[in-house]
């Protein structure tokens, strides 16, 4: 029986994989939170990987506090770069499979068309730079890895934009949401299923893939969809990013082109609104 290790098991994606795992009893699933897999302590991480000895690693664990990363650069790089490097090295030396999750924040946001996997990267913040360093290290240490770049992840689990909007729209009469950052949301349950579909596939084609739900929207338009589906009375106004300064700069345009993953793995990716409805069921 193949053993699948899921890192970041308490996060949005790890939690959605845990929901799906019972449908795939042919695998031995190991869900590892920070106590089982210590991404910020490399010596301990090495020992933990040897002890668990997985055949497949779904690396969902990451440092994701985008603004905080600006002042915690060393920690962000340790988790998003050096730990990934070590995991990739382990999988290569032990002939194990690795699916590593990355981000649209590896791009600078100056494109105006959906981004392909081979588009030039140019992160505009520390988080994006740490994730890009992780991608490079991952493919260097294990060229047989699969990296999935995703964007705007939300879920019934954890903290995310959708849950924040649901709360604020019930608490306040009006809110402002940036309307000049364009991309597409990703329902973590859809991405979790896509990862399992890849593991289940008879073929394993390494490299970088993009995955998000279909649709091209701003955060403001996303908020309007949340308002509509939740039936909230809150007034939602669109504002430019300049009116809502944050410690970390965000890419203005980071819509991902999903043609490669749909073609190679024959995946059917739902429109963002279809998936968003599942949050309200």
- pLDDT tens figures, 230-259: 999 999 999 999 999 999 999 999 999 999
Fold of 2-158+187-214+255-270: Rossmann fold (3.40.50)
From CA 52, how far away is CA 15, in angstroms rounded? 19
Nearest C-alpha neighbor of 29 from the set 14, 11, 12, 45: 14
Compute the C-alpha angle 197/149/159, nearest 5°: 90
Query: Angle between the 83-93 and 42-52 helix axes, to the nearest 10 degrees?
Result: 30
Mean pLDDT (whole number) for 14-27: 98
For 82-97, write each residue's pLDDT tens digit: 999 999 999 999 999 9
Q: Mean pLDDT across the chain, nearest whole number? A: 97
Q: Is the dihedral of CA 222, 114, 138, 106 positive or negative?
A: negative
Per-residue pLDDT, 98: 98
Across the beta sheet with 2-7, what order do the strands follow?
27-32, 2-7, 56-59, 97-103, 146-150, 207-210
CB distance 277 to 215 below 8 Å: no
Mean pLDDT (whole number) for 208-228: 98
Nearest C-alpha neighbor of 219 from the set 191, 258, 180, 167: 180
Nearest C-alpha neighbor of 54 from the set 63, 62, 45: 45
What residue ranges do the domains of the chain occupy?
2-158+187-214+255-270
Mean pLDDT (whole number) for 126-143: 98
Per-residue pLDDT, 281: 81
Nearest C-alpha neighbor of 125 from the set 160, 182, 59, 76: 76
Q: Is the dihedral of CA 85, 6, 90, 140 positive or negative?
A: negative
Q: Which of 63, 127, 154, 187 is catalytic?
A: 127
Q: Is 127 a catalytic residue?
A: yes
Q: Kindly tell me if the per-residue pLDDT of 124 is higher than 90.
A: yes
Task: Provide the CA 269 distance to its chain's centre, in angstroms.
Answer: 15
CB atoms within 10 A of CB 243: 11
pTM: 0.97
């Amino acid at each position: 029986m193949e053993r699948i290790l899921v890192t970041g098991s308490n996060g949005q994606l790890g939690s959605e994989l845990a929901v799906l795992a019972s449908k795939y009893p042919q695998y031995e699933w190991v869900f590892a939170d920070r106590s089982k897999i210590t991404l910020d302590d490399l010596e301990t991480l090495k020992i933990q990987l040897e002890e668990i000895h997985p055949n497949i690693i779904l690396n969902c664990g990451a440092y994701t506090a985008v603004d905080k990363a600006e002042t915690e650069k060393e920690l962000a790089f340790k988790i998003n770069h050096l730990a990934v490097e070590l995991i990739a090295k382990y999988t290569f030396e032990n002939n194990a499979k690795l699916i590593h999750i990355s981000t649209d924040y590896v791009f600078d946001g100056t494109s105006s068309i959906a981004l392909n996997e081979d588009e030039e990267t140019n992160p505009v913040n520390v988080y994006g730079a740490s994730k890009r360093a992780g991608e490079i290290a991952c493919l260097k240490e294990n060229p047989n890895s699969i990296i999935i770049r995703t964007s705007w992840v939300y879920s019934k689990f954890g903290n995310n934009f959708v849950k924040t909007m649901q709360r604020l729209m019930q608490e306040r009469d009006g809110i402002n949401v940036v309307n000049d950052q364009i991309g597409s949301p990703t329902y973590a349950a859809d991405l979790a299923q896509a990862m399992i579909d890849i593991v289940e596939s008879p073929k394993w084609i390494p490299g970088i893939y993009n995955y998000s739900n279909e649709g091209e929207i701003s955060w403001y338009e996303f908020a309007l969809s949340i308002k509509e589906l939740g039936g909230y009375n809150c007034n939602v106004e669109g504002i430019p990013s300049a009116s809502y300064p944050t410690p970390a700069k965000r890419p203005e345009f980071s819509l991902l082109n999903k043609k490669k993953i749909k073609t190679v793995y024959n995946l059917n990716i739902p429109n963002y609104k279809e998936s968003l409805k599942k949050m309200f069921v």
